[in-house]
Amino acid sequence: MTLTMMGPPGAGKGTQAKLLGEKFGIPVISTGEILREAMRARTVLGEQARGFMEAGDLVPDDVMIGIVAERLRRPDCQPGFILDGFPRTVPQADALAATLAAMGTRLDLAISLDAPEQEIIRRLSGRRVCRACGQGFHLLYDPPPHPGRCGRCGGELHQREDDVEGTVRARLHAYQEKTLPLLAYYEARGLLRVVDGVGPIEEVLQRLLAVVSEGSPRA
Ligand code: AMP
């Protein structure tokens, strides 16, 4: 199974991609997570990406395309993969198709997880992430068992720098301007499925599983 999860920031892509990845035993490739990890480690990539991410802008296509092409060629992606947050632009989608074609495969489905702007802002403002393991929590919807501490590894929870209000607005703007056109791109190829991302995590997961089990047009 080869899937991409799209949708505005805060729609729940990361949470649901992780659950689907566990369910199907395939890797989840989160470009946002790869970039945050590179920033934590202060690598060249991290330093390149930092300014764009902190401003709520997209990191340039050539950087992102290189990272994903390299990651997809690793052997653990052979049985399938779930992309979380890639592609985000039409050039990225074209590059993904070319990379997959060179590997003798293609995308099965492009799922757009949808949520209204009010809900997105509520979700992002309450989101907290573990500095040590990256696990996400929400102050209201999925509170950590001990305030400020990760329920998985005990690490310190913090608010992502790009989850502050001004940056959230910039991210929504980038989504509307650069990523929304991808919906028409995948619709034209018969790959788009839009799933309502509002509701409890488990309920949204069931909606996604129903869409995935209907399968792809090539199946
Ligand atoms: P996310 O964790 O998916 O919300 O991504 C966080 C930030 O990482 C985004 O606001 C962008 O700055 C950057 N980013 C992640 N994926 C991409 C991508 N495919 N193209 C460009 N920038 C990206």
Nearest Cα residue to atom 5 of ligand 1: 32
Confidence band for 217, pLDDT divided at 50, 70 and 90: low
Give a yes or no: residue 139 inside a domain. Answer: yes
Q: Is 164 helix (H, G, I), strand (E, B) or coil?
A: coil
Residue 198 lies in a domain: yes
Confidence of residue 14 (pLDDT cuts 50, 70, 90): very high
Q: Using alpha carbons, select from 125, 131, 126 the residue that is nearest to residue 156.
A: 131
Q: Please, which residues have CB within 8 angstroms of residue 196's CB and are 6 or more apart in sequence?
A: 114, 204, 207
The residues with which 191 forms a beta bridge, in sequence order, are none
Question: Could you identify the residue written with the tokens 């990256």?
Answer: 134
Q: What is the pLDDT of residue 218?
A: 57
Determine, yes or no, domain membership for 72. no
> If you average pLDDT over residues 65-83, what whole number do you get?
96
Q: Which domain holds residue 166?
A: 2-26+79-214
Which residues form the catalytic set? 13, 88, 127, 160, 171
Inside any domain, residue 37 = no
Q: Identify which of 83, 88, 163 to mutate to test ligand 1's pocket (most ligand atoms within 8 A of the CB).
A: 88
Residue 8 lies in a domain: yes
CA-closest candidate to residue 1, choices 112, 86, 81: 81
Residue with CA nearest ligand 1 atom 11: 58
Q: pLDDT band at 215, cuts 50/70/90? A: confident
Which helix (H) or strand (E) segment holds residue 20: the answer is helix 13-24
Residue-averaged pLDDT of the chain: 94
Angle at the Cα of 80 from the Cα atoms of 67 and 120, rounded to 5 degrees:
65
How does pLDDT run across 34-50, given as a tens digit for each residue? Answer: 999 999 899 999 999 99
Residue 50 placed within a domain: no
Among 192, 196, 217, smallest CA distance to 208 is for 196
User: Given this model, what pLDDT does residue 166 score?
Assistant: 87
Structure tokens, 29:
């490739």
Q: How far apart are CA 185 and CA 191, in angstroms?
A: 9
Which residues lie across from 137 on neighbouring strands?
A: 128
Give the global pTM: 0.91
What is the CATH classification number for the domain harbouring 174? 3.40.50.300
As to burial, measured by CB atoms within 10 angstroms (0-12 exposed, 13-18 middle, 19+ buried), residue 152 is middle
Assess if residue 187 is contained within a domain.
Answer: yes
Pick left, alpha or beta for residue 57 (phi over 0 → left; psi -120 to 50 → alpha; otherwise beta): beta
The string of pLDDT tens digits covering residues 109-168 is 999 999 999 899 988 999 999 999 888 899 988 899 999 999 999 999 999 888 988 899
Structurally, how many domains does the chain consist of? 1
The percent of residues in the chain predicted with pLDDT above 70, rounded, is 98
Ligand 1 centre and the CA of 59: distance in Å?
Answer: 7
pLDDT tens figures, 81-115: 999 999 999 999 999 999 999 999 999 999 999 99
Alpha carbon of 219 to ligand 1 centroid (Å): 30
Q: What is the pLDDT, as a whole number, of residue 161?
A: 86
Residue 74 lies in a domain: no
